[in-house]
Amino acid sequence: MKKKNNRTENGFTLIELMVAMVIALIVMGSIFMTFKSQQDSYVIQDQVTRMQQNLRGSMYVMTRDIQMAGYYTNFDSGSCSTDWDDDGNTESVRPLIYGCNNISSNGDSIVIIKACHERDSSGNLIDSGTLASGNTATGNTITLSTLDLDGVGGADLNATGKKFGLLVKSDLGKADIFEVDSIVGNTITTKEALHEGYTQGDRIFRADVVIYKVQVNAGRPCLVRKNLGSDNGFQVVAEDIDSLQVQYRLNDGTWVTGDDGTGSFIPDMYKVQAVEVSLLARTAHTIRGYTDPNTYNLAGQTVTPNDGYRRKALTSVIEARNIGL
């Protein structure tokens, strides 16, 4: 008699195996898509966070400088001719605050003029001093005991990087911005004649001439800052700032935009009471599948990017402390 084999051998059919593989692929695809979506969201949020930090940081730095515009220079009553905005052209203005409208596709520039107000670790002003006995300043000649204005060592004025200075009457009645043409010993020759004469007891400062604008560095638009009065070139304040737009409120309530780039400078800039600064920032990289649909209104100017970057605009009205009074 034939022996019966009770052992059963079970397995998967080809159809069952294919169904299982399809289900596994669907599950794995769902997991990957979930991960990819979360990763994309994280990358976008990280870029948006950096963009917002750039905006806040830029506005903070600009606010500090704008609030100092006219510091001690508001006593100056005469214009001074020089290339205030470093664009290769000479502007003859009363130098308190100076704006150039739409200097490029990235918007405006703003120039802030003020006496140097830096302090040392003890709280003493540096790069400034008082004219000593025998010191005089008249016409195109300033004669000093020493070019070390603050007594801490080194020349505080020169004919290259530190070429802007300020003379102020001891009673704060008058002041003169000057640009150094040459220095022989401790005698400074200025490019333009001073409007007033100065003697012992009057103050002398190195002047800061701070320029803000947006320029492209290594393919990325950046807010940059330069101080013509302290030997440094343009420094990046923040990357991925698309546009800077500025307008100015005068003490009669009207708004002006500054120089239009053709020499049509607004002569009443010394009456500025407030500055409206608008910054437009973008993410560092384009966002896949996204097109910016917005039109941004920045200080009276409209910007319509229509590209793949996410953007955010920030506008602040900054009250001037030393001008427009």
**CA 275/CA 223 separation, integer angstroms:** 17
pTM, full prediction: 0.84
Q: How many domains does the chain have?
A: 1
Per residue in 6-16, pLDDT (tens digit) is: 555 667 788 87
Residue carrying structure tokens 């001891």: 170
Within-domain flag for 184: yes
Within-domain flag for 9: no
Residue 3 banded pLDDT, cuts 50, 70, 90:
low
Q: What Cα–Cα distance (Å) separates residue 117 from each residue in 9, 72, 73, 114, 289?
A: 92, 10, 12, 8, 49
Is the pLDDT confidence value at 325 over 70?
A: no
Q: List the beta bridge partners of residue 214.
A: 223
Per residue in 196-239, pLDDT (tens digit) is: 999 999 999 999 999 999 999 988 999 999 998 887 789 999 99
Which has more confidence, 26 or 144?
144
Within-domain flag for 42: no
Within-domain flag for 33: no
**CA 282/CA 253 separation, integer angstroms:** 32
Domain range for residue 217? 49-319
Closest listed residue to residue 72, CA positions, set 100, 99, 111, 112: 112
Question: Tell me, what amino acid is at 78?
Answer: G
Mean pLDDT, range 122-129, rounded to an integer? 82
Within-domain flag for 32: no
Within-domain flag for 256: yes
Question: Tell me, what amino acid is at 1?
Answer: M
For residue 324, what pLDDT is reported? 72
Contacts of 69 (CB under 8 A, 6+ apart): 96, 97, 112, 113, 114, 272, 275, 320, 322, 323
Per residue in 251-278, pLDDT (tens digit) is: 888 888 876 555 555 666 778 899 999 9
For residue 124, what pLDDT is reported? 75
Within-domain flag for 37: no
Rg of the chain over all Cα atoms, to the nearest angstrom: 31
Within-domain flag for 13: no
Q: Which one of 29-33, 83-87, 266-270 scores highest in mean pLDDT?
A: 83-87
